[in-house]
Amino acid sequence: MASAPLILVVQHAEPEAMGLVEPLCRELGIAWHLCRPYAGEAVPPATQPYDGVVVLGGPMNVDETERYPFLAGEIKLLQQAYRRQLPTLGICLGAQLMAKAAGAAVTKGPSAEVGWFPIRLTDAGRQDPLLTGLPEELMTFHWHEDTYALPAKAVHLASSAQYPQQVFRLGPAAVALQCHVEVTPELVERWAGDTSSHDPAPLRAGIAQHGEAVAHTGRTVLTRFLQTVVAWHDAHTD
């Protein structure tokens, strides 16, 4: 019996869970190894048996390696994934770590971008395999205050009013998204309940107003990414 595709999912905090990634993996027959370095678990290398890597968001900054030594291990993981051209997806902090791993600077943004805000696709974004066919302007959910420079050789795919860097592709297999395409209503409700620095009312109100459209975008983008994982697995399985 052939083995199922397997992805490595790196989680940085208990509330920042897999969200839509989990049910979509089940639908596509993809297994996952959830690595929780914040709980003391070692970050593995991006080698076999993994057919893909997903790095989720988190409350830390990419340069806080003294406080969170595992971040340095994640940067090495991503660099290995780049070299293998392994399907790789970074979300929020994951996107910032991808930029850092590719040699780009990660800095504080102009102000915190927290809540429901649209992103606009570039010409390249409208033609990208993960984004093609989606509206030019997409409502998405955000929770970040850091940004990054576009890495050398990366393709800029989307921006928002506050943050020019929202989505980029690096090579044939790696995509970074500053916005949270994985969110579910349950995740947004949990984050809104946990915050003391942001007004939870508009976060909760946006679930009814924007949740369905955001979930459609998330399912589309994540399904397309996970399909590349299946294709990688099939191409590299004897």
Burial of 45 (0-12, 13-18, 19+ CB in 10 A): middle
Q: Would you state the pLDDT for residue 1?
A: 53
For the chain, give every domain's residue range: 6-235
Q: Shortest CA distance to 78 belongs to which of 62, 94, 58, 92?
A: 94
Q: Per the CATH hierarchy, to which homologous superfamily does domain 6-235 belong?
A: Class I glutamine amidotransferase (GATase) domain (3.40.50.880)
pLDDT in tens, 7-48: 999 999 999 999 999 999 999 999 999 999 999 999 999 988
Can you tell me the distance from the alpha carbon of 183 to that of 21, in angstroms, rounded to the nearest whole number?
9
Phi, psi of 2 (to 5 degrees): -70, 145
| Cα dist from 156 to 44, 66, 89, 187, whole Å | 29, 31, 15, 28
pLDDT in tens, 44-92: 999 889 999 999 999 999 999 999 999 999 999 999 999 999 999 999 9
Query: Average pLDDT in the 150-167 region?
Result: 96
Alpha helices in the chain (DSSP H): 21-28, 70-84, 93-101, 123-127, 185-194, 200-235
The structure's pTM equals 0.96
Q: Over the chain, what is the mean pLDDT?
A: 95
pLDDT in tens, 86-100: 999 999 999 999 999
Q: Shortest CA distance to 129 belongs to which of 97, 169, 100?
A: 169
pLDDT in tens, 115-156: 999 999 999 999 999 999 999 999 999 999 999 999 999 999
